[in-house]
Structure 1
Amino acid sequence: MQDVAIVGVGCTPVGEPWDKSLREIAVDSTWNALDDAGTDEVDGLVVGNMSSGNFIDQESLGSLIADYGGLGNISAFKVEGACGSAGAAFKAGVMAVASGYHDVVCVTGVEKMTDVVGNSATKILANACDREYEAIHGVTFVGLNAMIMKRYMHDYKVTREQISTFPVNSHKNGVKNPNAMFRREISLDTVLNSPMVADPLTVMDCAPICDGAASVILTTRERAREFTDTPVFIKGCSVKVDTIGVHDRATVTSMAATKAAAKDAFAQAKMEPKDIQTAELHDAFSIMGVIGLEDLGFVAAGKGAKFAADGEIAIGGKLPCCTMGGLKARGHPVGATGVYQIVELAKNIRGDGVIDVENGIAQNIGGTGSTVSVAILGRDD
């Protein structure tokens, strides 16, 4: 297996671009990454997307983006893993290069969610859970996460105030990200007093519905410096799954798929949690960020909320998290999120981000933990 490097990154601003279609933002992102890598040729394209068929009535995204991007008769296909689609697509791209099947691969995550009204978006997102045993009874995705948060608060005697420091941190970091949907700070009181969506989750505990696309260019170690003087290497990358239904798990306050993917990625990287300098966590809901800290091994079970409340996830803390706004402030265009995380992590590592680090980890969750990817990136050894 060959070592794989990121040699180009690009993305579009997250928001509600009414004047642009899915194909347009995907092509913009793809060419931003190609320009960053200083090339106009790839021999493979992997597209991460959750539900283009439902959101915009369009499938066959591999062909669509390769066609309108002028990439020619290359290998191109879509990978789906609910909200973890982009992380899974990144893993597929890494495997394509590491195996020797491809030389230069573009991974593009894209989602256009705002072309449908809110109720339709809620129904589409519920497809990430067990449709026959969860969604059919009327539970929403927010509702499932609210139940997880309630159980966590009960089991570990944790307060809403502690958990809801996560969006406060993300919004503070999003201010300096020109691609973030929400570039303004919020207070803890704002989070707690915002409208209730599903008790105990308020509007400000939840990532927004939005559009966006993000891309990375991958190649081998041997070719990396043909494209850039600052390649970022994939030290470990894993995707694992768990039961699709929350009700079938031994516990709802921990995600077995995150633990399994983290164990695999750390083993590949020959690293431990204590070696990691920054983390891009899947903070679609405040509680997901807290549980992510624990499942990735940074703190013990039940200690994630206090770690966040004590300021340790802030830039300047022990483990800066969601340094460019995370899902809450940058936004969560579901099928693109995992690649946005990789783009932001790579920029921090190569020196044009918001912090200076040598390595970092990204966690992308599909569903309520049914599909999870974990990637560890770093500078050359």
Structure 2
Amino acid sequence: MSPSLGDMEPAEAESVYFNEYPPPKALPKHEALARAFIDLHVEANRRVVLVTSGGTTVPLEAQTVRFIDNFSAGTRGATSAEYFLEQGYAVIFLHRQYSLLPYSRHYSHSTNCFLDFMDEAPPVPGAANQDHGSIVVRDEYQTEMRDVLRKYRYAKQNNRLLLLPFTTVAEYMFELRSLAKLMRPLGPNALFYLAAAVSDFFIPRSRMAEHKIQSSELPPQYQGGGGDSGADSAVDGEDEIYTGENEAKPANQKKLVINLDPVPKFLHRLVDGWAPDGSMVVSFKLETDPTLLVYKARTALQRYSHHLVIGNLLSTRKWEVVFITPDPPTRAMDSSPQGSPHAGGAAGSESQQAPSQPDVGSEGIEIESIIIPELIKLHENMIEKKNAPAQ
């Protein structure tokens, strides 16, 4: 892959990047499921949101043993999907495989084993097998679990929720491009809620080792078959393996130095190429430095010309976010007991807060319960403007 990929025009970078990898094996199946799902909701004139969720892996080998990952468990995406469904949207949930899912998130990643929610009822008198009772939900969890189960069953039985998994950053990109194009018949009824933690760096397939990168020296007859590992050195010689530069060379020790290329920023292609005309595109910006958050979010908004960046800090992301929009702010919102809506905020932003870090399923406020209604108001305004007759 060309080292100047980041300097290419977006359409050219798209062509080069997607030619670097074969399409995911599951892509045709996912496309068929998504096409039927979208057609159903186009006919019903229902709004559809594509929620992306969870982290993306960056494989170090073609036959992957090792990969780079991030901490995302998909909490934001899974929680948000539930609130979109409550507001009447149909949801395509493009998620990292084995990350949190809508509704099951309340139990699948609990600090308690899911078996702690269950019990065995006493055997039924006269039953054939007196040694076994029915498996039931424990009394203290009945009300909460019934509510979650009813919501989940309604979403599934009414075809409001489609779950599609990915693992690697390349798979994510293929899925996102394909789904965005399939959503074109939705027009302004389409919403993109890009909550996935997408890797900023990757190893091009052409530079990737075919087999597992070895951690110890190999005899000469086994060397040279692994290809370039994406590191500064291959596995062809002791001097090349050790990359300690000016450090004294240690005995029986070596380092692996990996060269990663930046993943092309395809948000511009999504906004101005793949997505339906008039659709709304929302991205997220996570930072650890509060002095950079609004600047980085506003820069992204200006660069990619989409509609909203939701900024959050790593340390406060579960109870505070900042809305960055192209329009001047209207208000800042504080959901703490002493707070009240008030005018103000950073230029081009709208701040929303909840009082404390909530645990899923607790009495605390989930910040997504504030984010989603406010976001839907913005989407409704876009739809009204798009559908308004020309003056």
- Which TM-score bucket, shorter chain as reference? under 0.3
TM score, norm. by length of structure 1: 0.27
TM score, norm. by length of structure 2: 0.26
Q: Which has the larger radius of gyration?
A: 2
Structure with bigger helix share is 1
Larger relative contact order, structure 1 or 2 (CA cutoff 8 Å, min sep 6): 1
